[in-house]
Structure 1
Amino acid sequence: MAKYSTGNSSGGGGGGSCELCGKTTDSLTEANVAGAQLNVCRNCASHSDTTKSERKKRAEPSERDRKRRAAQQTAKMDDARKGDASHWEEEGTNYADDPLPYLVSDYGDRVLEARQDAGLQRGELADELGIAENDLLAVEQNRANRASVGGSVIEALEDHLDVTLSESA
């Protein structure tokens, strides 16, 4: 059974008994549990509403940390693009011949549901249609426009999965 503090403890990290479970330990940490400040053992520290490490994590990230995370995200995006750059080099980016139609608002959900109903993995469907898996992922995530997916991809998905993705004019 859990013990609760009456405010008279020998805690502060110098040793003693955990005020939550009663375990004797040399390593206690201060924790806020259900509004009470308690000195708890390492195992009970997870019950804390706010621990020192959580307060530190919640602190505003430094400018350096933000820049580092942004650079890491950019590197990830660059790495993802490297594997799929060949079709741009070979085919070019002539969107006048392959414009993206106006898409219904839930086009990504429709494609995802139809693909899953057909029992296909994303890679399998992309291979069957001869399209890049990244383009299919972009469609499923409702980012076809931002990812510069061509209208031919939308048409192929509509035909193969028997779904309506574009709005009729």
Structure 2
Amino acid sequence: MRLQSTFKRLFKHSIAAKGSKQQSRQLTEGEIALARSVFGDCLKLDDVQLKTAWWVLKHYAVSPNGNIYFHPVDWVKDFSQCSLGKQSWLIHELTHVWQLQQGLKVVRGAIMNRRYEYVFEAGKSFFNYGIEQQARMVQDYFVRRHHGHDCRDFETCVPFLKEQMLNSNHDTRDSYSSFKV
């Protein structure tokens, strides 16, 4: 019964949006800056397209192939000019793009494990969390960092955050070594 009502909602929203004009664009400079602030150089952004698709449910997005698809009513011209909530949504979806670029089976992973909630476990690899848990972690990191909260758990678990921390520590050591004592 529950599955049937989900399909009815999907069909209803899909038909309503099917007639709307499809849109597509590259990431804006502001969105690229947001992405770089989280992923550094670990995410290839050149080919990422944001698109509308009639088959995506309202208030959802999917990233099955390296592009991010939104329902037409959720189309945004520039996420970097939006609320923190919408910006974090983009970061969540870009995490799925990163997962694809790492060779992860995002669609299968999302179907098999829809859990978003997570608990950090010492020593547990980022890749041992579900696809959606990984994306939620990165989204939560983005929001927590914005609010100035402690993000060490994220920075020790998420591979590209670890890499950025190592690089920033290395850069700091290099800059200190140039001072004369």
Structure 1 or 2: more helix by fraction: 2
Larger Rg: 1
Same fold (TM over 0.5): no
| TM-score of Structure 1 vs Structure 2, range by shorter chain | under 0.3
Higher relative contact order (CA 8 A, sep 6+): 2
Q: How does the TM-score come out when normalised to structure 1?
A: 0.21
What TM-score does the superposition give when structure 2 sets the normalisation length? Answer: 0.20
